[in-house]
Amino acid sequence: NAGVTQTPKFQVLKTGQSMTLQCAQDMNHEYMSWYRQDPGMGLRLIHYSVGAGITDQGEVPNGYNVSRSTTEDFPLRLLSAAPSQTSVYFCASSQTSGSPGFFGPGTRLTVL
């Protein structure tokens, strides 16, 4: 199993540009989430999903969209990038709500 994969690893955007961060898992996990990690603030939940077709907002959803058309994929879309979205983004999955989380290697995003 590849586990949780994320692409790209690094990305530089200009303010106002849009892009999609890709996340995929091959473990048939129902639960998937997106977090951002900023210095001194820990990881914060952006959006999450409890299964295909079901998504909901986390703590910091503004400026981001998600969809879950398949169990395997959970892309995160930045609609109009802002410097405040400069961060490291992690995708995570878990089998059930009570099982350990598996995290991807992260995408380091810089918005100029």
Cβ-based nearer residue to another protein, 17 or 102: 102
Degrees, nearest 5: CA angle 42-54-7? 55
Least distance in Å: CB of 94 to another protein?
Answer: 6
Count of other CB atoms within 10 angstroms of residue 49: 20
User: Among residues 33 and 85, whose Cβ is nearest to another protein?
Assistant: 33
**Tokens representing residue 57 in the block:** 């907002």
Choice between 87 and 106, CB closer to another protein: 106
Q: How far is the CB of 15 from another protein (least distance, A)?
A: 25
- 56/49 Cα distance (integer angstroms): 6
Q: For residue 70, what is the DSSP state? A: S
Query: Which positions touch another protein (CB under 8 A)?
Result: 4, 31-33, 35, 40-45, 48-50, 56, 58, 90, 92, 94, 96-106
- Reply yes or no: is the peptide bond before residue 39 cis, omega within 30 of 0: no
Using the minimum distance from each CB to another protein, give the nearer residue, 77 or 108: 108
Minimum separation from the CB atom of position 27 to another protein (A): 13
- Compute the distance between CA of residue 30 and CA of residue 40 in angstroms, rounded to an integer: 30
Q: What minimum distance in Å lies between the beta carbon of 63 and another protein? A: 19
